[in-house]
Structure 1
Amino acid sequence: MSAFKVALGRLGFELDARAGRAAHEVHDDSLRRLPWAPRSVEPTLAVRLPGMVTIHKPADWEVDGAASEPGEHLPLSSYLQSLFRRSECPLVWDTGQSYGFLHRLDIPSSGLVLCGTSFQGYYALRLQLDTHRLRREYLVLGHNMAPSGLTEIVARVDVAPDPSQRKSISDSGRPSQTMLVVSAHVRQRQAGLPEPGGNMFITAIRIATGRRHQIRAHMRHAGHPSIADARYTCREVRVAADRDSQNSSSNAAAKQSNLQSNYNNSSSCSHDLHTSFCDVGLFSTEVLRVCY
Structure 2
Amino acid sequence: MTPELIFEDDHLIAAYKPEGWLVHRSDIDKHENRILLQYLRDLVGQHLYPVHRLDKPTSGVIVFGKSSESASKLQAQLDRETSLKQYLAICRGFCPEQGLIDHPLAPVADFKHQRKRPKKDLPRQEAITRFRRLATVELPFAVDRYPSSRYSLVEIELVTGRRHQIRRHFKHLSHPLIGCPKYGKSIHNRFFADQFQCARLLLHAYRLRIQHPDSSKVLDFLVPPKGCFMSLIEEFQWSATLS
**Global fold match (TM > 0.5):** yes
- Greater relative contact order structure (CA < 8 Å, 6+ sep): 2
1:180 corresponds to 2:128: no
Higher strand share: 2
Gaps of 5+ in 2: 142-146, 206-243
Q: Which moved more, 1:52-61 or 1:131-140?
A: 131-140
1:214 corresponds to 2:156: no
Alpha-carbon spacing, 1:177–1:290, altered in 2? closer, same or farther (3 Å) = closer
Please give the alpha-carbon distance, in whole angstroms, between the structure 1 residues aligned to 2:158 and 2:189. Answer: 28
Counterpart pick for 1:161 among 104, 109, 133:
109
Cα distance per residue 1:254-275 (max 9 Å; x no partner):
xxxxxxxxxxxxxxxxxxxxxx
Q: What secondary structure, in the 3-state scheme, does the structure 2 residue paired with 1:157 have?
A: coil
Question: Does the 8 A contact of 2:13 with 2:64 survive in 1?
Answer: yes
Question: Does the 8 A contact of 2:11 with 2:65 survive in 1?
Answer: yes
Question: Does the 8 A contact of 1:198 with 1:241 survive in 2?
Answer: no
Alpha-carbon spacing, 1:151–1:47, altered in 2? closer, same or farther (3 Å) = same
Counterpart pick for 2:21 among 48, 61, 78:
61
Gaps of 5+ in 1: 1-40, 93-99, 191-195, 250-281
Please give the alpha-carbon distance, in whole angstroms, between the structure 2 residues aligned to 1:284 and 1:189. Answer: 17
How far apart are residue 107 of structure 1 and its match? 1.0
Please give the alpha-carbon distance, in whole angstroms, between the structure 2 residues aligned to 1:219 and 1:182. Answer: 12
Question: Does the 8 A contact of 1:59 with 1:290 survive in 2?
Answer: no
Q: In structure 2, what residue type is equivalent to 1:136?
A: K
Q: What secondary structure, in the 3-state scheme, does the structure 1 residue paired with 2:6 have?
A: strand
Cα distance per residue 1:61-109 (max 9 Å; x no partner):
0111576652236211121122133xxx3x42xxxxxxx1111111111
Please give the alpha-carbon distance, in whole angstroms, between the structure 2 residues aligned to 1:61 and 1:197. Answer: 34
Higher helix share: 1
Alpha-carbon spacing, 1:115–1:176, altered in 2? closer, same or farther (3 Å) = same
TM-score (norm 1): 0.57
Q: In structure 1, what residue type is equivalent to 2:202?
A: R
Identical-residue share of aligned pairs (%): 27
Which of 1 and 2 has greater Rg?
A: 1
What is the number of equivalent residue pairs in this alignment? 194
